[in-house]
Structure formats: structure tokens, C-alpha cells
Structure 1
Amino acid sequence: MADRFDTQLIELGITLTEKQKIQFHRYYELLVEWNKVMNLTGITEYDEVNEKHFVDSLAIIKAVKMEEIHSVIDIGTGAGFPGIPLKIAFPHLKVVLLDSLQKRIHFLDTVIEELGLEEVETLHGRAEDYAKRKEYREQFDLCVSRAVANLATLSEYCIPYICVGGSFVSYKSGNVEEELNGSKKAIRLLGGELSGVVKFQLPGTEIGRSFVQIKKNESTKKRYPRKAGLPAKEPLGQTQ
């Protein structure tokens, strides 16, 4: 199984050191162990976790030159995807993981400690709230999210965190065209522009994925994001 993981990563252009392989394996063990007492993932088979969580998280290198990225924030990180796999594979990254559920943050803190990861911060709370704080607002080269949400909503959560010139990349599956069309106004209002969509299949599978790339051209107006709950309830650009 480990050979399959290695092969899939090599197809992406990633070669792991022994230390990194051990970190991924320990991450898998902790995920399965904690999943018995809390809902972290519906995927627990070794090769499936490698493929659908680890390889999928790292496939972003098809859209982003990760060696040029220094700081990343992962919004709605859940069990740590894609933030922790990115940190393991690209140790130079400074990573912030944000999630609204305290139990998940406790799990993530355990993973960070057990794997010996440095320069990783966890935040418990809502994206709308932390985006108002100057130590996080417009402080990141890259914002990523695998969270399942409308792209207009995700854009309001994520674009405020990235610096001008930085990027927000949303992990999507299925047909994204309709969602893209419905989010263009929101992206523009937030200071961004759609810079591309990278479509691909996970190596060695028939699983189709898309990376939606949004470039930030100007500072986000202070009124965004709106108060907690509103971006999801009334997606930006669709109600005003």
C-alpha cells in the first residue's frame, strides 16, 4: 500500500523522505484512532485515506508553486486537510488551521505534537470573526479550503485572509461551471478575480477534481466578511 502512495505522489512530482513517510503513517494512525470516538472522516481504509485525503490534499501543486509560498491558512480544516499534509510535504510552510469545532482542534493539536510539526497554529472559531483581526487579515500568501460550501460563501470566508497578490484555492469536485458563474460578482466585490480552474484526476484513479484559483488584486473592503452566519445564509453577490 505504501508503494502505491509513493507512486501516486511521484506522479505529482513529490518524493517524500523517510521522516515524512513516518509522519504520514502516524497521522493515519491518529486519524483512525480518534475517528472511533468522534466523526473526523468516513474514510478509514489505509489506501483510501492516502488517496482521498493525503494525495488529494497535495495535488494542489498542479495549481500552485508551493516552493514560492511561505504562509498558508486552511479554512474549515476539519481533520486537517489539506493543511497538515501540505505542512508535512512542504516543511518550510507556516500554516494556520481554522475550524469551528473544539473537538477537532484538540485532535489537530495532538497530531501537531505527535508529528513534531513546527510553525503550525490552530484556531477555534468562525472564519468571519478571525478575518476581522489584524494579525490574520490579509496576512497569508495562500488560503486553501476543502470545505463543502458554495464558492461565493467560501470566497467571503477566505479572500479577506490573503494578502494582495496572494491566492485562494478552493478544492472542488464535479461540475463547477455553474458555481463559478454564480460567484464572480462576490469574488470581485472581495477584491479578487478568477484566475483559472485546474481540472485533473487523482493519480491512478478516475476521481475527478478541480482547483478553482482566485487571485487577490486589491485589499478587501472592511465591511467583508459580513457577520457570522450571513455569508452562508445569503451568499454575496446573489442578494445585493
Structure 2
Amino acid sequence: GTGAGFPGIPVKITWPQIRVTLVEPLKKRCRFLEAVKEALHLEDLEICPERAEEFEAGHRDAFDAVCSRAVARLSILLELTAPLAKPGGLVIALKGPGAAAELRSAAPALEALHLKLLKETDTSLSAGERVNLYFEKQGPTPADYPRNFGQIKKHPLEDTTWQK
């Protein structure tokens, strides 16, 4: 979920001409986001009260870019976000400390989801280490993904032993 609207609302404020969709399952947070949208007069900002894996069903391969902050390990995050991006589109993961180790562990996820790392940018501040990882979606995400969230969490794509 987008929580308090990060990074979507700052992106929308910075580039008001683009369309932004925020996905957030908690209705209380959605009400807050609607209030922010109204107070800041943000046009073309859609707030969807759903979990990412539910939202994906009607929005597969629909977005030029999908961005998520550090809400889960990279392999889990990529399985939830990659199906939303168009082939040729971007999947951007905002990560904290340990991003390099997560990226190494997520190699099976990159292969399974047809993602290629384009670049890493260090956006660290005095408050802590931050790294943005930019992936290009090389082709359609296989229909098997995303799996049920319980399966994703129990057997992340970095763990290939469950597939044998």
C-alpha cells in the first residue's frame, strides 16, 4: 500500500501532467489520501482501495512505470509490482540498507518476472542509506505471477527449492 502517499503524491506534485494511481488497502488511509488530493487540487490522481495482488487482476501490463518503497524484500516486492508494468516499462524499487544483498537474492525473481536491472542510484540522506533500483520489464510477466500472497511470503522467488 501507498500508506501516506509516498512516493506517489510527491511524484504527482513534481510532475503534475502525469497520471498517478495509488494502491492502498486500508480505507482510513484512502480517506486521508482523498483529503490530501482535494486540499492540493491534484488532478489525474486515482486512489484504489485494494491490495496490490487484487488490483493486478484488472490492471495487468497497464502502467508505464510502477514504483514502490521498501515495503517488503525485493523478491516479494517485484512479484507484486512487475505484473502491473507494461513490457518495456519500468519497475522502480526504493530500498534501504541491504539493497545490494536483496538484489543478489532476487536474481531468480528477475529471471522469472522478465526484469533487467537498468541502474541503481544512491539517494542516501543523513537519516540513512537509500537506494533506488530501476528495472526494465523485458516481456510479459508469466500468467503464474503474482501468486497468492501466502505463497509469495512463504516461498519468495529467491527460494527456488519449493519449485523442485
TM-score normalised over the length of structure 2: 0.91
Which residue identity lines up with residue 214 of structure 1 in the other structure?
F
Same amino acid, percent of matched pairs:
38
Structure number with greater Rg is 1
Secondary structure in 1 aligned to 2:149?
Answer: coil
Aligned partners of 1:184 and 1:194 also within 8 Å: no
Displacement after TM superposition at 1:137 (Å): 1.1
Q: Is residue 106 of structure 1 aligned with residue 106 of structure 2?
A: no
Counterpart-to-counterpart distance in 2, 1:98 and 1:89: 19
Residue 211 of structure 1: how far off its partner (Å): 0.5
Gaps in structure 2 of 5+ consecutive residues: none
- Partner in structure 2 of residue 152 of structure 1: 75
Aligned-pair CA distance for 1:97? 0.2
1:123 to 2:48 alignment: yes
For residue 11 of structure 2, give the secondary structure of its aligned residue in structure 1.
Answer: helix
Amino acid at match of 2:64: D
- In the alignment, is the contact (CA less than 8 A) between 1:153 and 1:231 conserved in 2? yes
Q: Distance in 1 between matches of 2:15 and 2:9?
A: 10
* Structure 2 counterpart of 1:213: 134
SS state of the match for residue 155, structure 1?
Answer: helix
The amino acid of 2:22's aligned partner reads L
Unpaired runs of at least 5, structure 1: 1-75
Q: Which runs of structure 1 show a deviation greater than 4 angstroms over 4 or more consecutive aligned residues?
A: none
Quote the Cα distance in structure 1 between the aligned partners of 2:4 and 2:32: 8
Whether 2:53 is the aligned partner of 1:138: answer: no
Give the 5 Å matches for 1:59-208: 76-133=1-58, 136-202=59-125, 205=126, 207-208=128-129
- For 1:151 and 1:183, the matched residues in 2 are separated by 6
CA distances 1:135-183 after superposition (whole Å, capped 9, x unpaired): x211111111114210000000100010011111111111322111111
Q: Could you tell me which amino acid in structure 1 is paired with residue 4 of structure 2?
A: A
1:90 Cα deviation (Å)?
0.7
Q: Is the 8 A contact 2:7 2:69 kept in 1?
A: yes
Letter in 1 for 2:81: C
- Render the CA deviation track for 1:167-215: whole Å, top value 9, x for unaligned: 111111113221111111112111212222212333xx36321011111
Query: Which residue number corresponds to residue 222 of structure 1?
Result: 143
Alignment partners' CA distance in 2, 1:92 and 1:197: 26
Residues paired across the two proteins, number: 161
Between structures 1 and 2, the one with greater helix share:
1
Q: Check the 8 A contact 2:70/2:96 in 1, yes or no.
A: no
Tell me how far 1:99 sits from its aligned partner: 1.2
**How far does residue 232 in structure 1 lie from its aligned partner after superposition?**
2.3
Q: Does the CA contact (< 8 Å) of 2:37 and 2:45 recur in 1? A: yes
Aligned residues of 1:126 and 1:228 also touching (Cα < 8 A)? no
CA contact under 8 A between 1:128 and 1:228: conserved in structure 2?
A: yes
